[in-house]
Amino acid sequence: MLLTEKEMSVLKDLQTQEKNCIDKYEKYAGLAKDDELKQLFDELKKKEQEHYKTIGQILNGEVPSCDCNDTAGKDYQPKGSYSKSEESEDKKNDCFLATDSIGTEKLVSGEYNSNVFACTLTSIRKVLADIEIEEQNHAEKKKEAKKAEAKKAQKEAQKERLEKSKDKTGNVSDDDDDTVTITASSIDELLDKIQAQNQLFMSDNVQTEDEKKVGQKFDFSV
């Protein structure tokens, strides 16, 4: 397989981008404080090394196989590690690393999108398209990691509001898994507690489509 001078130039530029990603993720894996984020950066570094090797094979006249249906980004389900109220340096550090690396993946993905048609062979374009999808999946994983942190913080905020709704004469208690007893000294206080408990309940339950058809709201029209 013979490559044109333009194809050689484009592929070498893409390989340089992959090398930059490898170096960045190796550095970020060492800087990250959260263990799950460390693991993610290590995983992404290995994937970028695979991309670097793949482009090297193309430059050497080989066309490796590809799989353009990667769903790794969508399937990634991380767990949040930091609370909403926490404003530690570790949290700020990890937030910066995740945000910066998302920007890097968008840049690299854009490079593949812009240069894929510079290659004349369909087989090469398929390989580059596969790498582009994986780069997008990398960004998606980091977004999911940030969303997991935000979701955890939201649940903690809802629980905090529920705790604040308690007073000396009224408590919100769980007698069993299905029943919640709420007491209050006034109608306004009772409504506030019911609303807080309802929000907490909704945040802890994932519903099927059939369940969504069943009412999940309190009727305040008494």
Query: Which CATH code is given to the segment(s) 5-155?
Result: 1.20.1260
What pLDDT is stored for residue 184 in this prediction? 73
Q: Of 131, 121, 3, give the one whose Cα is nearest residue 67.
A: 131
Q: Domain coordinates of the chain in residue numbers?
A: 5-155, 165-212
Taking the chain (222 residues) in runs of 10, the rounded mean pLDDT of each run is 89 94 95 89 92 92 73 61 71 88 86 86 87 79 66 64 59 52 75 76 58 54 54
Note the pLDDT of residue 83: 63
pTM of the model: 0.58
